[in-house]
Amino acid sequence: MTDSNWSYTSNTPNLRLVRSYEVPVQPIQVSHVSVQYRQVKALEDVSVSVQPGRLTGLIGPNGAGKSTLLKAMLGLVPVTEGSVLYGEQALADKRDRIAYVPQRSQIDWQYPATVWDVVMMGRVRQAGFFRRFSTASRRKAQAALERVGMAEFRDRPIGQLSGGQQQRVFLARSLAQEADIFCFDEPFVGVDQKTETVLFQIFRSLANEGKVVLVVNHDLGESITHFDNLILLNRELIASGPREHVLNRDNLSQAYGGHVNFYAA
Ligand code: ADP
Ligand code: MG
């Protein structure tokens, strides 16, 4: 969570300087992906690439297949056709590089975990499930909580927080994970203005660090201007690319049907 790639470890009496091995983040290539649930064809022949270093919004009406596309990318639902590659490899095989925050409705808020427990889940893969968390892991989790402005809540049960606070804790967990690819499903639903501001600031800095940042968003209002790129979906891909290019009347009426208001600045 530091801005540099250098970190100090103090396991030995002498402070050691460690350079983490750095591989540039690759684009994600979705090719001809179709997903069929029992009755419903949720996605049909979707091909799109998601570029690192760009804040990318995934938009489209309710039931358009936005969540399904994220889940298909992560290997959480099977694709009936097509592939999702990260560089040369299947993205689903690189799960340790991905941080994913599902839609609110898919999270069990009664789960008896504190804010700290949730953020430390982001460190499980590095620590190994039954191993004790290292000092470095704790420090990273603490830094992530501070970055989202939730450090003072660390001992609170997650279920007792507001929607915005919960969303910031999940963002902290994804930061603690130190992933290359960040996927958020409707993170702005039911959150306060402060949370929206914090989320967009952090999404922007992740994109500036060269990460892949993909955010499902259904609001076409002013907040849409935060995104560099958009992917517009309605079961099929309608358009993708730079925001100014995607947001036009033709594309939007194709996706939403009829007249739709959007913020075009
Ligand atoms: P969005 O996130 O854009 O609102 P979804 O990806 O959730 O859309 O859903 C796309 C379509 O697939 C919808 O018609 C939805 O009802 C259907 N669907 C989603 N999940 C399932 C599921 N687990 N089983 C059956 N149908 C599903
Ligand atoms: Mg959804």
Q: What is the arithmetic mean of pLDDT over 35-50?
A: 96
Please report which ligand is nearest the Cα atom of 61: 1
Q: What is the arithmetic mean of pLDDT over 86-93?
A: 92
Nearest-CA residue for atom 12 of ligand 1 = 42
Q: How many CB atoms are located within 10 Å of the residue 225 CB?
A: 12
Residue 110: what pLDDT? 76
Domain-located, residue 3: no
- Hey, which residues does 59 pair with through a beta bridge? 232
- Hey, which residues does 81 pair with through a beta bridge? 34
Domain-located, residue 5: no
Please report which ligand is nearest the Cα atom of 185: 2
pLDDT band with cut points at 50, 70 and 90 for residue 158: very high
Domain-located, residue 82: yes
CA of 4 to the centre of ligand 2 (A): 35
Its domain, for residue 52, covers 23-256
The domain that holds 99 is classified in CATH as 3.40.50.300
pLDDT band with cut points at 50, 70 and 90 for residue 131: low
Q: How many domains does the chain have?
A: 1
Q: If you average pLDDT over every residue of the chain, what do you get? A: 88
Residue 70: what pLDDT? 97
Domain-located, residue 261: no
Q: How far, in Å, are 103, 175, 218, 226, 231 from residue 56 at the CA level? A: 17, 18, 13, 9, 7
Atom of ligand 1 nearest to the CA of 35: 12
CA of 162 to the centre of ligand 1 (A): 26
Atom of ligand 1 nearest to the CA of 77: 23
Domain-located, residue 13: no
